[in-house]
Amino acid sequence: MFVPRIAPVSAIVLRALPWREKDRLLILFTKERGKVFALAQGSQIPQNRLAPATQTGIIATFWLAKAREFDRITDYRIERFLTRMRRDVFALAASSFVAELLELAMPMEMPDEEMFKEVLWFATKLEGDIQPVKWLVAAQIRLLWRLGWMPRLLACCICGEVIESEEVAFAPSVGGSLCGNCWSKKSLSDAQFFPYSVLQAIYSLWHQPLLMETLHMRFYLWHRALELLRNHWRYHLEVDLKSWRVWVQLNSLHLPISPLKPSQL
């Protein structure tokens, strides 16, 4: 008799897609195997025993059985309930944002334990009273760094000179910030100007992510930081994020005067 090999994985659910009539296909980020797909059979039916574990952001141990197409979930144990994203739409948008980035950027079946640890750390941190916008900036720069896509921020990526101007040109195609001199010599179509304080904040959060609890900056500048990171991701991933639109729309609805114009969508 054929007995399928079943092995447990520690995982966070990045996304749950409806699959066929009654199933869900989960995109998991696991400690043991990196990104994997796993089928939760029957989990679109509310009373199905796998249903509670098939939601974005669930942290659980899943027992996976090897199957021809996708691994099949045979059992699970929820390790942590993240509750803030169920009551705070900004926290939900921020965590979905990072889930989308992980789904796009992480290769299949390539374990990265340090990345996994960091993702869990950030997931747990969002449960506190941290501002989702700061959390999102910190999580993104740490992710970029772990993926080897860390931009140069406080020094010119061409000549290495320390940047001192108040407004800084940032071009993902050359790796980040440019000094005035190099900027004037190059014509880079993807360059955009950002306040120095934005670059400094991103750098500080990369260096010490816990500063997201205390670092202060005008709200508008946090959104500039997200724009910079968005440009950088777009260059590396070659797609625009669905989460970015959601995030901008959400913030436009909730801000009395929106600093984000429709043209920035």
Rule CB under 5 A: which residues touch Zn ion? 156, 158-159, 161, 179, 182
Nearer to Zn ion, 165 or 264 (CB): 165
CA torsion 50-73-121-88 (nearest 10°) is -30
What gap in Å lies between CA 190 and CA 168, rounded to an integer?
A: 13
Q: Angle at Cα 89 formed by Cα 99 and Cα 50, nearest 5°?
A: 55
User: Please, what is the minimum distance in Å from the beta carbon of residue 168 to Zn ion?
Assistant: 11
User: Please, what is the minimum distance in Å from the beta carbon of residue 137 to Zn ion?
Assistant: 25
User: Please, what is the minimum distance in Å from the beta carbon of residue 184 to Zn ion?
Assistant: 10
Nearer to Zn ion, 182 or 199 (CB): 182
Nearer to Zn ion, 67 or 159 (CB): 159
How many CA atoms, within 13 angstroms, populate the side-chain half-sphere of residue 11? 30
Judge whether 170 and 191 are in contact, CB under 8 Å: yes
User: Please, what is the minimum distance in Å from the beta carbon of residue 167 to Zn ion?
Assistant: 15
What gap in Å lies between CA 142 and CA 202, rounded to an integer?
A: 10
What gap in Å lies between CA 118 and CA 115, rounded to an integer?
A: 5
Nearer to Zn ion, 59 or 156 (CB): 156
